């Protein structure tokens, strides 16, 4: 390296030996000198060099400060500014002599350059060594985390296995625990077990992604809507000036829903395939109706997540919209199997790239929030055109040239029917009350889901939290009267109520149960939660709305007990002052009224809670202790 250059390039040259780039990946030397200018500078340099010999040596302290301040990258101007700002005595004297403006200042730098260079080289070495050390540590941490994650997965699998064994428990054993439970006779239980092919399927996704259109079209294609009725719906959608919503109108039956072209309530319908019976719950996608979406998802076993195939629309739903929140909520409400329908691909000429890009965004996210790889499938479709919904397309080379996998309905047929809690004490969760005036059910009726046990006509059962006995008059599922309803069944029930009871008190969150083993009623519970992607940390006293199966009740977080390791459950920090996003923690929640609740360890579907605050979902978790003594199991 020649010294016969201008000062800037000399200082810059001192880095070229070791590291050409700074920490931000920018090149150090950015000034380029033309020949003429360079010659001029060289002449000036020679002059300065002569004068420099007479100048005082740069103070060691000054050099050190420069190195400390600029680390392994600094420019001529930065050095100059530092020297000027330096309060060193010698410089002050020089400043008196207008040193900083004089040409001698440059020579002052030159003669100290060797010291600077040396210091700088040492510094670069040190920085590089530290960088290397840090990288190695990060690598080690990553491997450790991967290892821990694997261990955690193994633990989860073990736990799930033991839980499944728990589902298959011999009812003789259970009779010892709940000796007085009136189980149905063995033949009926066997029949129910063999008949267990119903799946409750919720359709989730960002607003306008095409959920209702997709389901409406499936129902039409499977003959659940006859042509005459479809024609009528088509006419109505034309009248509203929303002809593209004709299939959505099949499920969106409310006046406001049709006028606005937005789903508000959870639309329910059902269809049958070769292997399965599906009850479908069409959830609203709009942010304002998340509570209704939660109500739909809490009844479901599996979900179809609809995402748009158009890049911008997809990103709108995925980054700022409801796609992620719906997926997280579904998972935390107990949905484990998911089919991702990449919709509206007709709008992008069935682009394989668009489809793959969406998978690349969605798949890692779903794995991260706890879905297992073998429980997620992706399928390209057009809900509006009906493409790849039931039968695979035969004359669409834009799609068939790259996609040869199953159609949406074929994926649905592959979903596993979850194990049901036939042998546990009866729990029937109410979702709504209405007065039946025609058809099979007359009088006081409720919409409900059987979570465990078997409910039969004429059963005399306990209604909580009101502590009154009710009689089952009739049960209807999928528009047909049935004599009994097994766990997993979404049904309508007509009730005989005591004359002193006002039926208007019946509401979502009430539970019909076995009088000998009533559901717990609590005003306080302990919950292990995972905090969502929130901006403001959760503190003690945080008001929340608690959603737990069909319950929706106000309360507040009364205690932040501890932050725990999500993998091991061990406490990391006791009594934290606040909870940040993605932390796992144990909290206590106080409710405004007595509420029916269960432990996660007793009833997996009932023992979950989701916490919301106004418009945001804050956390979801499992109930680990209720405010009273626990039953066994």
Ligand X SMILES: Nc1nc2c(ncn2[C@@H]2O[C@H](COP(=O)(O)OP(=O)(O)OP(=O)(O)O)[C@@H](O)[C@H]2O)c(=O)[nH]1
The answer to whether residue 323 forms part of the interface with ligand X (CB under 6 A) is no
Residue of 490, 432, 459, 467 lying closest to 594 (CA atoms):
467
With tokens 């995402």, the residue in question is 307
User: Binding to ligand X (CB under 6 A): which residues in 210-249?
Assistant: 210-213, 244-245, 248
CB of 260 to ligand X, least distance (A): 8
Residue of 358, 351, 386, 345 lying closest to 214 (CA atoms):
386
Alpha helix locations (H) across 178-251? 186-194, 211-221, 227-239, 248-251
Q: How far apart are CA 176 and CA 546, in angstroms?
A: 34
The answer to whether residue 263 forms part of the interface with ligand X (CB under 6 A) is yes
Looking at beta carbons only, is 135 or 349 nearer to ligand X? 349
By CB under 6 A, which span of 163-171, 255-263, 413-421, 520-528 interacts with ligand X? 255-263
Looking at beta carbons only, is 155 or 244 nearer to ligand X? 244
Which of 14, 299, 332, 382 is the binder for ligand X (CB under 6 A)? 382
CB of 406 to ligand X, least distance (A): 18
CB of 297 to ligand X, least distance (A): 14
| Helices and strands per DSSP (H, E), number in the chain | 19, 24
Residues present in the chain in total: 633
Contact 465, 443 (CB under 8 A): no
Which of 284, 453, 518, 576 is the binder for ligand X (CB under 6 A)? 284
The answer to whether residue 209 forms part of the interface with ligand X (CB under 6 A) is yes
Per-residue contact flags (x/-) with ligand X for residues 161 to 180, judged by CB under 6 A: --------------------
Which of 8, 344, 449, 608 is the binder for ligand X (CB under 6 A)? 344
Number of residues that bind ligand X (CB under 6 A): 24
The answer to whether residue 605 forms part of the interface with ligand X (CB under 6 A) is no
> Who's near 268: CB < 8 A, 6+ residues apart?
279, 280, 281, 282, 490
The answer to whether residue 347 forms part of the interface with ligand X (CB under 6 A) is yes
Looking at beta carbons only, is 19 or 398 nearer to ligand X? 398
DSSP symbols for 310-355: SHHHHHIIIIISSHHHHHHHHHHTT--EEEEEEE-GGGGTT-HHHH
Q: What torsion, rounded to 10 degrees, do the Cα atoms 616, 621, 623, 625 define?
A: -100
Per-residue contact flags (x/-) with ligand X for residues 17 to 56, judged by CB under 6 A: ----------------------------------------
CB of 316 to ligand X, least distance (A): 13
- For residue 487, what are its two tokens? 């766990």
Q: How far apart are CA 620 and CA 329, in angstroms?
A: 8
Q: Mapping DSSP to helix (H, G, I), strand (E, B) and coil, where does residue 141 land? A: helix
Q: Which residues pair with 200 in a beta bridge?
A: 279
Q: How far apart are CA 350 and CA 130, in angstroms?
A: 50
Residue nearest to ligand X as judged by C-beta position: 285
- For residue 574, what are its two tokens? 């006791």
Looking at beta carbons only, is 211 or 449 nearer to ligand X? 211
CB of 240 to ligand X, least distance (A): 12
- For residue 126, what are its two tokens? 């040190």
Q: Which residues pair with 468 in a beta bridge?
A: 463
Q: How far apart are CA 152 and CA 155, in angstroms?
A: 5
Which of 207, 222, 315, 468 is the binder for ligand X (CB under 6 A)? 207
Looking at beta carbons only, is 108 or 350 nearer to ligand X? 350
Q: Give CA angle at 598 (594, 599), nearest 5°.
A: 130
By CB under 6 A, which span of 341-349, 469-477, 536-544, 614-622 interacts with ligand X? 341-349
CB of 292 to ligand X, least distance (A): 10
Looking at beta carbons only, is 116 or 204 nearer to ligand X? 204
CB of 263 to ligand X, least distance (A): 3
Looking at beta carbons only, is 191 or 347 nearer to ligand X? 347
By CB under 6 A, which span of 296-304, 338-346, 470-478, 538-546 interacts with ligand X? 338-346
What is each CA distance from 245 to 241, 242, 471, 616, in whole angstroms?
9, 6, 42, 29
CB of 245 to ligand X, least distance (A): 5
Which of 72, 99, 113, 208 is the binder for ligand X (CB under 6 A)? 208
Looking at beta carbons only, is 207 or 534 nearer to ligand X? 207
User: Binding to ligand X (CB under 6 A): which residues in 516-555?
Assistant: none
Residue of 289, 329, 294 lying closest to 547 (CA atoms):
294
The answer to whether residue 258 forms part of the interface with ligand X (CB under 6 A) is no
Q: How many C-beta atoms surround the C-beta of residue 588 within 10 A? A: 17
Looking at beta carbons only, is 289 or 371 nearer to ligand X? 289
The answer to whether residue 396 forms part of the interface with ligand X (CB under 6 A) is no
The answer to whether residue 607 forms part of the interface with ligand X (CB under 6 A) is no
By CB under 6 A, which span of 108-116, 376-384, 464-472, 607-615 interacts with ligand X? 376-384
Please report which helix (H) or strand (E) contains residue 305, including its range: strand 302-308
Looking at beta carbons only, is 248 or 579 nearer to ligand X? 248
Q: How far apart are CA 205 and CA 213, in angstroms?
A: 13
Contact 562, 575 (CB under 8 A): yes
List residues near ligand X by CB under 6 A. Answer: 205, 207-213, 244-245, 248, 261-263, 284-286, 343-344, 346-347, 382-384
């Amino acid at each position: 390296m020649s010294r016969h250059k201008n000062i800037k390039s000399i200082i810059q040259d001192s880095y070229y030996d070791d590291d050409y780039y700074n920490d931000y990946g920018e090149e150090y030397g950015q000034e380029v000198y033309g020949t003429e200018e360079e010659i001029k500078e060289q002449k000036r340099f020679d002059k300065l060099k002569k004068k420099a010999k007479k100048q005082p040596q740069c103070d060691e302290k000054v050099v050190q400060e420069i190195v400390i301040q600029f680390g392994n990258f600094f420019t001529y101007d930065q050095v100059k500014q530092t020297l000027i700002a330096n309060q060193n005595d010698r410089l002050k004297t020089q400043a008196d002599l207008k040193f900083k403006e004089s040409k001698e200042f440059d020579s002052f730098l030159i003669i100290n350059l060797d010291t600077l260079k040396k210091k700088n080289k040492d510094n670069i070495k040190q920085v590089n060594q530290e960088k290397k050390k840090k990288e190695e540590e990060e690598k080690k941490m990553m491997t450790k985390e991967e290892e821990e994650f694997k261990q955690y997965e193994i633990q989860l699998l073990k736990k799930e296995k033991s839980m499944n064994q728990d589902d298959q428990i011999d009812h003789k054993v259970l009779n010892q625990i709940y000796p007085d439970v009136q189980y149905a006779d063995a033949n009926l239980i066997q029949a129910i077990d063999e008949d267990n092919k119903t799946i409750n399927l919720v359709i989730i996704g960002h607003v306008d992604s095409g959920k209702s259109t997709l389901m409406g079209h499936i129902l039409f294609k499977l003959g659940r809507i006859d042509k005459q009725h479809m024609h009528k719906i088509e006419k109505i959608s034309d009248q509203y000036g929303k002809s593209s919503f004709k299939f959505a109108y099949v499920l969106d039956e409310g006046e406001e829903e049709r006028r606005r072209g937005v789903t508000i309530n959870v639309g329910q319908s059902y269809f049958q395939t070769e292997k399965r019976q599906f009850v479908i719950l069409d959830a609203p996608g709009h942010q304002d109706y998340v509570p209704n979406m939660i109500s739909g998802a809490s009844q479901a076993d599996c979900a179809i997540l609809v995402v748009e195939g158009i890049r911008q629309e997809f990103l709108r739903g995925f980054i700022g919209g409801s796609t992620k929140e719906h997926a997280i909520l579904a998972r935390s409400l107990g949905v484990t199997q998911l089919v991702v329908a990449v919709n509206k691909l007709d709008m992008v000429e069935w682009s394989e790239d668009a489809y793959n890009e969406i998978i690349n965004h969605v798949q890692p996210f779903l794995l991260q929030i706890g879905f297992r790889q073998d429980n997620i499938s992706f399928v390209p479709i057009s809900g509006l055109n009906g493409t790849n919904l039931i039968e695979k397309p035969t004359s669409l080379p834009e799609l068939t040239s790259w996609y040869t996998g199953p159609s949406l309905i074929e994926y649905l047929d592959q979903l596993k029917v979850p194990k049901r809690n036939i042998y546990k004490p009866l729990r029937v969760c109410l979702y709504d009350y209405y007065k039946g005036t025609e058809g099979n059910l007359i009088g006081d009726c409720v919409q409900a889901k059987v979570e465990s046990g078997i409910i039969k006509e004429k059963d005399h059962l306990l209604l909580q939290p009101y502590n009154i006995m009710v009689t089952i008059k009739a049960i209807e599922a999928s528009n047909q009267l049935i004599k009994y309803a097994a766990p997993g069944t979404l049904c309508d029930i007509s009730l005989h109520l005591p004359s002193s009871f006002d039926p208007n008190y019946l509401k979502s969150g009430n539970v019909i149960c076995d009088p000998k083993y009533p559901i717990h009623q609590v005003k306080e519970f302990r919950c292990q939660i995972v905090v969502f992607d929130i901006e403001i940390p959760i503190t003690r006293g945080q008001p929340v709305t608690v959603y737990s199966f069909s319950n929706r009740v106000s309360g507040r977080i009364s205690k932040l007990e501890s932050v725990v390791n999500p993998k091991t459950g061990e406490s990391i920090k006791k009594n934290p002052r606040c909870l940040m996003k993605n932390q796992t923690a144990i909290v206590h929640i106080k409710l405004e009224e007595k509420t029916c609740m269960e432990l996660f360890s007793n009833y997996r579907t009932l023992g979950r809670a989701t916490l919301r605050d106004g418009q945001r979902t804050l956390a979801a978790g499992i109930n680990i202790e209720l405010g009273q003594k626990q039953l066994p199991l």
